[in-house]
């Protein structure tokens, strides 16, 4: 003061500024401030270029009213922060608004924001120190409070100087006011002058080329002081009083000889400066255009303030309106707050052709979007009409979805186009996975799917001539044959041992007691009994002993189960078409090497096997990677073609698999799905369209639109293979000779065998008769053959002599009597005569005396028939 100062500028510290203000007020020295003064009352000799807190609170009220906020969280950091916003808290824009107020520090940013999130408050007014703003932004990102639901309104005027790169394209709402218009010509000129004096003025501006508020207000303070001095000097030249009208607005005014006396003040003396009040009045009435806009004062406070409203849009803050004291808020870009008005925006949509998602129409004269059709094209039309945008469809140059190359550390295909920002959307059969999600964004999935195995329909099992034997396995037939032999011999042996199977011969009783008995179950009859019962036919033989009946009953039960099981299975084996399926699932593929298998090159299925940690999938990947020639295909059509050629399995998405299977009856799906994933619409990282399109997809799913489009392109295209009709035709087909021809073969073989046995019997019998009758073999065979070929010949003939001793006597016989030679006594043959009471059977006569004849051991039967009369 003792140096003759005429004004004091600053400081920005509130406490020090209040102390300086009291000194200036005591000495009548003008005090020009460039800080926010929280004191509501007016101070003498003080001129503040910073908009008052009352004006700032009024601006916040107006914007809150415009946005119709009902729940707001106020987060402040400095101790006087609540004083700054107390007017907003005490008198909110409307009585319905609910405010949640919390003080915070850099150490408690996350905690406070977490509390706000837990209370479901999405509108925040943030009053933090700009130097700590990076920490606050980091807390927002860590808590993922950066989506379209959240709206942050910052009180700082230096929002443009902050780094907002982490919030680009993520649709979060960030709003702030500014007082320095970077597009103003005066501001641009000041920037150029500051850059000339670098590095002196470099700290005032930042890399964005925006002047911070504090130096801009200080610059304007100096300019206002100069205007006041000029006005005061001009008034003294023209005889104007110290409190007269200002001449500062007159351009080209020359500075006259100094009329101001030096203050020569001292803090020890209470004598004020004589010209201080006059200079203060001229400064207070000065009007000029500064870096912070039009400058005008009322009672030392700034009036008629204009604030630009900024909002984060995509990658930078943009001016969307302004606020003027006394007039309120004026929004020049309503679409910044209400996204419905976007119909004039054209988005570049990247895709690739893939049936039935995206296909080129056959008409080559079409251009633009009209060239394409398919499921994704129809879905894009629905989403565009609902969200509100136009689109231009482009095909990806390399025809790839996108896979990461570790060698070059680059992505290809559609993913590369989105990463390089050459496309706004990607609408195709594009799978959502972790690798892609790390570099681009996906909407909610519009279709869920998994990886399936496409394979050629297995060929029908060739029909065998003896297919009637298929109902039972080969080992079962062997067991049945073994059981047949075992039971037959068991029955024969048990019948020999059991006394109840030996029965008396007719007319062979002496004094009412049987002299001779016979057994009906010789070896041949035993086999015949077992055969007849097995084939459900009678044999004319019935067991009489309990043991043999048990054997017969158990055999009947056994044959009942076997025949019933055979009959039940026979119908299925002869009518159902059986397929030869070499593989059933992915494990079968991995365990063999004859059938090749592969995936679409550069697709998500290939990435799935390449990055899988499951052993079986790793084994499959090693096979596919090392197989020569390559098992990977460039298109789905190529993969389907290789499947139809045979000996190849194609691993593909289940939706594409269903489309192929429904259009070609020679294709089928093997096993279940190997994983679960979804198709989504891809956007660049942080795109504002992701959440809007996700909401549209959810709405279309709820309305059934997506299912309708699926049915349209998968089931209702007219080229669907009708498997039901083919199955019905197969089931209704009659049995052919190839199914049951083996039965006829068995029948013919049986007849041939019977004829061969009959010929052998005929020859053997003729040989014995020729020897006994002392005739030539040809004569005997001729007589027998002539007799056998007499179709209408007699039914009776002379009995055949069975031994050399029987032709010496003409025996008497009982017609129709059968005598088993085995039943004769071992001491000799009984008489075959007709003597009565001789101890032999009536009608039989002794034909041999002496030692037993070997004939007595023969197992044969002699039949006596009445001679022709």
Enter the tokens of residue 613: 């940690």
- State the DSSP string of 779-809: HHHHHHHHHHT-TT--S--PPPP-SGGGGSS
359 half-sphere exposure, CB direction, 13 A CA radius: 12
| Residue 604 assigned ligand-binding role | yes
Contact 194, 186 (CB under 8 A): no
Contact 109, 58 (CB under 8 A): no
How far apart CA 228 and CA 297 sit, in angstroms, is: 12
Residues facing 319 on adjacent strands = 310
3-state secondary structure of 319: strand
N residues, the chain: 869
How far apart CA 780 and CA 769 sit, in angstroms, is: 7
To the nearest 10°, the Cα dihedral for 128, 133, 137, 139?
-60
Enter the tokens of residue 658: 């269903």
Enter the tokens of residue 567: 């009959």
| Residue 436 assigned ligand-binding role | yes
The sign of the torsion formed by the CA atoms of 224, 229, 230, 235 equals positive
- State the DSSP string of 762-775: HHHHHHHHHHHTT-
Smallest CA-to-CA distance from 496 within 226, 804, 863, 859 is with: 859
The sign of the torsion formed by the CA atoms of 359, 360, 363, 368 equals positive
Backbone angles phi, psi at 683, to 5 degrees: -135, 160
- State the DSSP string of 197-264: TTTTTTTTB-TT--B-HHHHHHHHHHHHHHHHHHHHHHHHHTT--TTS---TTSTTPPP-S--PPP--
Contact 21, 31 (CB under 8 A): yes
Enter the tokens of residue 395: 């095909």
Enter the tokens of residue 588: 């079968």
- Helix (H), strand (E) counts: the chain: 25, 36
Edge-to-edge strands of the sheet including 328-331?
98-103, 71-76, 123-127, 151-154, 173-178, 306-313, 316-324, 328-331
| Residue 605 assigned ligand-binding role | yes
Task: Scan for tokens 């009208």, then name that residue.
Answer: 245
Smallest CA-to-CA distance from 598 within 659, 647, 669 is with: 647
| Residue 431 assigned ligand-binding role | yes
Smallest CA-to-CA distance from 228 within 238, 216, 220 is with: 220
Enter the tokens of residue 141: 């990102």
Question: 605: burial class by Cβ within 10 Å (0-12, 13-18, 19+)?
Answer: buried
Enter the tokens of residue 189: 């000129």
3-state secondary structure of 403: coil
How far apart CA 755 and CA 541 sit, in angstroms, is: 25
How far apart CA 719 and CA 716 sit, in angstroms, is: 8
| Residue 463 assigned ligand-binding role | no
Enter the tokens of residue 467: 């297919």
How far apart CA 605 and CA 54 sit, in angstroms, is: 62
How far apart CA 339 and CA 821 sit, in angstroms, is: 117
Q: Give the list of residues 6+ apart from residue 237 with CB closer than 8 angstroms, or none.
A: 256, 259
Smallest CA-to-CA distance from 840 within 828, 830, 826, 848 is with: 830
Residues at the binding site for L-glutamate are: 431, 436, 604-605, 653
Residues at the binding site are: 431, 436, 604-605, 653
């Amino acid at each position: 003061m003792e140096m003759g100062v005429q004004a004091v500028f600053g400081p920005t510290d509130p406490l020090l500024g209040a102390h300086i203000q009291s000194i200036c007020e005591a000495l009548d020295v003008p005090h020009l401030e460039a800080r926010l003064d929280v004191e509501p009352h007016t101070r003498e000799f003080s001129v503040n270029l910073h908009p008052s807190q009352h004006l700032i609170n009024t601006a916040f009220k107006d914007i809150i009213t415009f946005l119709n906020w009902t729940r707001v969280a106020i987060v402040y950091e400095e101790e006087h922060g609540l004083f700054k916003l107390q007017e907003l808290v005490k008198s909110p824009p409307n009585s319905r608004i609910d405010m949640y107020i919390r003080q915070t520090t850099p150490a408690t940013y996350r905690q406070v924001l977490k509390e706000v999130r837990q209370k479901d408050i999405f509108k925040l007014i943030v009053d933090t120190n700009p130097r700590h703003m990076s920490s606050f932004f980091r807390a927002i990102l860590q808590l993922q409070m950066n989506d379209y639901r959240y709206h942050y309104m910052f009180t700082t005027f230096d929002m443009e100087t902050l780094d907002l790169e982490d919030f680009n394209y993520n649709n979060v709402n960030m709003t702030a006011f500014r007082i320095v218009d970077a597009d103003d010509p005066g501001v641009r000129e000041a920037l150029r002058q500051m850059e000339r004096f670098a590095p002196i003025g470099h700290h005032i501006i930042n890399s964005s080329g925006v002047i911070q508020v504090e130096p801009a207000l200080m610059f304007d303070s100096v300019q206002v002081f100069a205007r006041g001095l000029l006005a005061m000097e001009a008034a003294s030249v023209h005889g104007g009083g110290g409190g007269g009208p200002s001449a500062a607005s007159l351009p080209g005014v020359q500075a006259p000889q100094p009329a101001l006396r030096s203050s020569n003040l001292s803090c020890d003396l209470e004598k004020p400066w004589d010209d201080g009040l006059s200079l203060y009045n001229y400064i207070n009435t000065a009007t000029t255009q500064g870096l912070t806009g039009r400058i005008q004062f009322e009672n030392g406070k700034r009036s008629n303030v204009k604030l630009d409203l900024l909002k984060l849009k995509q990658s930078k803050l943009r001016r969307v309106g302004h606020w003027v004291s006394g007039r309120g808020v004026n929004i020049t870009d309503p679409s910044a707050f209400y996204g419905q008005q976007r119909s004039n925006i054209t988005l570049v949509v990247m895709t690739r052709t893939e049936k039935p998602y995206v296909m080129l129409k056959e008409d080559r004269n079409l251009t633009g979007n009209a060239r394409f059709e398919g499921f994704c094209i129809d879905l894009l039309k629905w989403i565009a009409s609902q969200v509100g945008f136009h689109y231009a469809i482009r095909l990806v140059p390399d025809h790839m979805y996108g896979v990461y190359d570790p060698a070059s550390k680059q992505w290809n295909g559609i993913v590369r186009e989105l990463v390089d920002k050459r496309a706004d959307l990607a609408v195709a059969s594009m799978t959502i996975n972790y690798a892609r999600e790390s570099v681009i964004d996906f909407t909610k999935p519009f279709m869920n799917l998994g990886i399936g195995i496409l394979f050629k329909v297995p060929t029908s099992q060739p029909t065998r001539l003896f297919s009637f034997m298929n109902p039972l396995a080969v080992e079962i037939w062997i067991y049945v044959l073994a059981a047949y032999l075992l039971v037959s011999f068991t029955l024969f042996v048990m019948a020999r041992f059991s006394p109840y199977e030996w029965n008396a011969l007719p007319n062979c009783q002496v004094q009412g007691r049987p002299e001779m008995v016979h057994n009906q179950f010789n070896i041949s009859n035993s086999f015949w009994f077992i055969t007849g019962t097995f084939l459900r036919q009678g044999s004319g033989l019935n067991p009489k002993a309990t043991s043999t009946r048990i054997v017969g009953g158990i055999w009947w039960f056994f044959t009942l189960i076997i025949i019933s099981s055979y009959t039940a299975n026979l119908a299925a084996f002869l009518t159902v078409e059986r397929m030869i399926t070499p593989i059933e699932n992915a494990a079968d593929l991995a365990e063999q090497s004859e059938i090749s298998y592969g995936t679409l090159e550069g697709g998500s299925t290939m990435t799935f096997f390449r990055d899988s940690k499951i052993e079986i999938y790793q084994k499959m990947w090693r096979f596919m990677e090392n197989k020569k020639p390559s098992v990977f295909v460039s298109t789905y059509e190529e993969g389907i073609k290789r499947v139809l050629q045979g000996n190849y399995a194609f691993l593909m998405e289940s939706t594409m698999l269903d489309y192929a299977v429904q259009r070609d009856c020679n294709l089928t799906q093997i096993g279940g799905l190997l994983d679960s994933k979804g198709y989504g619409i891809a956007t660049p990282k942080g795109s504002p369209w992701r959440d809007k399109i996700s909401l549209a997809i959810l709405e279309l799913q709820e309305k059934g639109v997506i299912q309708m489009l699926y049915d349209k392109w998968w089931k209702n295209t007219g080229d669907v293979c009708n498997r039901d009709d083919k199955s019905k035709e197969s089931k209704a087909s009659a049995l052919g000779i190839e199914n049951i021809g083996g039965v006829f073969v068995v029948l013919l073989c049986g007849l041939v065998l019977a004829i061969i046995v009959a010929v052998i019997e005929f020859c053997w019998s003729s040989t014995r008769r020729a020897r006994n009758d002392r005739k030539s073999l040809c004569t005997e065979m001729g007589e027998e053959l002539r007799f056998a070929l007499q179709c209408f010949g007699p039914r009776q003939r002379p009995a055949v002599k069975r031994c050399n001793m029987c032709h010496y006597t003409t025996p008497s016989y009982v017609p129709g009597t059968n005598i088993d030679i085995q039943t004769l006594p071992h001491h000799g043959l009984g008489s075959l005569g007709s003597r009565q009471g001789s101890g032999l059977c009536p009608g039989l006569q002794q034909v041999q005396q002496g030692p037993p004849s070997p004939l007595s051991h023969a197992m044969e039967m002699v039949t006596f028939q009445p001679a022709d009369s």
